[in-house]
Amino acid sequence: MLPEHHAILNLLEGGFSNLKILVVGDLMLDRYIFGEVDRVSPEAPVPILRHARRYARAGGAANVAMNLAGLGCQAYLAGFWGSDADQVELAQILEAAQVDTLGVVSTPLPTICKTRIVGRNQQLLRLDIESRDPHPQLDIDRLQQRAVELVAKVHAVVLSDYAKGALTQPLCEAVIRAARASGIPVLADPKTPDFSKYTGATTVCPNLHELAAATGMPAHATAEILASAPRLLAEHDFDFLTVTMSDKGITVLNAEGSFHSPARAREVFDVSGAGDTVIATLAASLAAGLTVNAAVELANLAAGIVVGKVGTVPIASYELVAQLTPSSGVSSGAKILDLERLTNRIAEWRAAGETIVFTNGCFDLLHVGHITLLEDCHRFGSKLVLGLNADSSVCRLKGPTRPIVGEKERARVMAALASVDAVVLFAEDTPLELIRVLRPDVLVKGGDYTVESVVGHEDVLAHGGRVQIVPTVEGFSTTNIVRKLTVAHAEELVR
C-alpha cells in the first residue's frame, strides 16, 4: 500500500481538480502510423508498410499538460507552435482535454511533429519535422512574459525541456524566481548536462543517463553517479533530485540521504512519455501537499501504467484509482464512502473496465450467511458495492431493539471484508434511490426472492444490467443469534 493512501485516493477522486499547474516547455505533436509489413519494395531494399490506422497525440511539454489534465488538474501551457496543420491538430487535442493554451506563442517556425511509422509493433522509421533556426527574439520575450504572468495563477510549475529552444536560461531564471517568490514548487525535466539554468528549482528529474552526463561519470557507474547528488544539490540550490532509473524505479536524493521506489512489475510496451507522466504526477502531488516519498510512489505507479501502452499516452486518474483499490489492498476506512465520492469512484472503475455489483442489507451481527452472500456477489463482477442500512432504517425494519451494532461500527466491519470494495450508508427503508443513482451492472439479492420482487430490478434491467438471486445459508441469521443469546442468558439467570 502506498504511503498516505487515503489522502491519495481523496486527491484522485476530486482533490486534484482544485489545483492549477503551469507547464512551460517544448510543445510537439506525436503522430503514429501503423500497418502490416509482409514484403520488401522492388524499388529499394526497404519494407513496404500497408497502412492500417493512424492517430496523433500531444507530445513533449504538451504531453505533460495532458497528464495533468488526466489527473484532474487545470493545466496551463506555455511554449511555441507554428501556424500550420500540425498546430491545428495539436490545439484540438489540447482543447478536448481542457488544457489552457493562452500562454502558447505562435512563431514563423513549424510546429514540431514526430511521425513514427510502426509495423507489427516494431518502429520502422521516425520522421521529425522541426526547424533548427532560433525563434525570433520578440517571440522569446513574449513567451517569457506570458509564462511569468501565469506563475501568479498556479500552484506549481513544470519546466519541460526537450532542448528545442523554448526554455532559454533567462526564461528559466525568471520563472523559477517568480515561483519561489510565490512559494510554489518548480520541477524541471532536463535535456542538457548543464543544470545551471534550473538553479533554484525544487527538484530536477533526470533519468540515469542524463544525470551521468551532468556529473561527467560513465553511465554504468550507478552508485558513483547517485553519490554525486549532494554536490549538485548544493551547487544549484535544489531541494532534492528525482532520478528515473528505467526498470529499477525512481530514486530521490536529498541532503539527508535517499529514498528508492522500486519499479512496479509490469510488461513494458513503450516507454515514450513515461518521464512526462512522472513529472506531471510529482508536480500535482507536491502541489497538493503530499510528502515527497508519497508523491514519488504515486508517480512510479503512474509510470508503470503508461509504459504498458503503445505510444505516448497520458495517465488518467481512474487508472490509478483502479490500481489503488483492489479489495485486499485498501484499508476499511478508505472503502466507506458518501454518495458523491462513491459515484466518482464507480465512474473511475467503469472507465477502467470494471463490472459493478450491488447488494444491500442491515448486516447487524456478521455471520457465515453474510460472508457466503458477499462472496457469491463478488463472483458476478469485479467491484462489489454494499448498501448498508443506517441505524434509523434498521430500527424501522427490525424493531426498537435493533440494531445491536451501530452503523459506523457495522460499516467498518463490512468494509474490512476482502469481498467488499465499497460501503455506503442509506437511511431509507429500501435502496431504490441508491440503485437509481449508482446504476449497477448487477443487482444481487440473497434469499427466497424472484427477480420481479427485488427492489430496483426494473431500473437495473432498463439500463441493460441484470438481477441475480443467490440462496441463503440455512440456519444463520442475526435473529437466530439474538435468540440463542437470549436463551443462554435466561438459563444463566436460572442457575
State the binding site for ATP.
207-210
3-state helix, strand, coil in the chain (%, to 5): 45, 25, 35
Annotation: binding site: 207-210
C-alpha cell recorded at residue 353: 473496465
- Side-chain half-sphere exposure of 415, counting CA atoms within 13 A: 20
d(CA 370, CA 365) in angstroms, rounded, equals 9
β partners of residue 243: 251
Distances (CA, A) of 397 to 373, 374, 424, 454: 20, 21, 18, 16
Give burial (CB, 10 Å; 0-12/13-18/19+) of 291.
Answer: middle
DSSP string, 472-490: PPTT--HHHHHHHHHHHHH
Query: Quick one: which H or E segment has residue 40?
Result: strand 27-40
Q: Residue 224 has what DSSP assignment? A: H
CB within 8 A of 434, min separation 6: which ones?
Answer: 339, 360, 387, 424, 426, 428
Distances (CA, A) of 338 to 17, 251, 345: 18, 37, 11
Place of cell 487515503: 6
Give burial (CB, 10 Å; 0-12/13-18/19+) of 281.
Answer: buried
Cis amide prior to 326 (ω within 30 degrees): no
Active site residue 30: no
Pick the catalytic residue from 86, 276, 364, 459.
Answer: 276
- Residues marked as catalytic: 276
